[in-house]
Amino acid sequence: MINHYLDIAPEVMDALNEGRPVVALESTIISHGMPYPQNAETALRVEQQVRAGGAVPATIAILGGRLKAGLSPRDIDYLGEKGAKVAKASRRDLPALLARGMDGATTVASTMIISRLAGIAVFATGGIGGVHRGGAQTMDVSADLTELARTNVAVVCAGAKSILDLELTLEYLETYGVPVLGFQTDEFPAFYSRHSGLSVDFRVEAASEIAEMMQAKWSLGLDGGLIVANPIPEAYAMPADDIKAAISRALAEAEAKGVKGKALTPFLLAKIEGLTEGRSLQANIQLVLSNAALAARLAVAFAGLQVKRVF
């Protein structure tokens, strides 16, 4: 029944049917992460990065009440131009958006759901959501974390967004059995920064090693995703003190204005961009491109394992 709602782009469908590597990409970064036209241009650059790594990109979204696995350049431009007028769609929003024939820009959680429905095992994003600061009292925990606990997709990211409580986020992931793998690092990256002072569960050196872990996990029936934490490239990392100061000011303004819920993260990211004179936006773009490149290598490695299993 669910396939009634799902459209897979022909290029993506051909790749999946032939066992070739595919990488899922989210659309919240297009409609809610950057200004137009930079958002659409960045999305196309990310797709090209995936292609350069030998995989087929499948940008995920909801258009006219249809789940889309793979968008055209025109679709991407449409989402970019409409911007925040497009609903930010997480797990809870999917039934209403589909039933009402609406558009939606998918978060990490909903991108994972649609990826799994389409049969895509690897997903590249910027940073995952997590436990917000003060979450122990407010219970403000991103649906990304619960999706990671149940949906079989490997998520390549630059850690969790540094506006969050990273320590509590990692505690939550540990409780629900989500492996946190550090790509060539022992330390959990903090989105704009390579360093958080917090450890990953396992350091991995190569995409092939991650692919083996994916296969082992799911072959055992251990449902849920894996986090592949890929630090932002050194050349684009922001000084920890600068980003901490910007986050503190942004959080204070959000509290003063009563910004909460799904509006909080876009508000904070936009405010931080202004406070850092655009440096945070450039860092965001570069880390997404880096994650897309690694995700392509991972998708190639994982597809190779599936071929070996068949023969």
Catalytic residue numbers read 26, 161
CB-side exposure of 250: number of CA atoms within 13 Å?
Answer: 25
Non-local CB neighbours of 75 within 8 Å, separated by 6+ positions: 59, 61, 63, 68
Cis peptide before 37 (omega within 30 of 0): yes
How far is residue 122's CA from residue 119's CA, in Å, rounded to a whole number? Answer: 10
Angle between helices 279-310 and 264-275 (to 10 degrees): 130
How far is residue 192's CA from residue 243's CA, in Å, rounded to a whole number? Answer: 8
* Residue whose C-alpha is closest to residue 8's, from 118, 122, 124, 119: 118
Bridge pairing between strands 66-69 and 56-63:
antiparallel
Residue 69 has phi, psi (to 5 degrees) of: -110, 90
Report DSSP state, residue 262: G
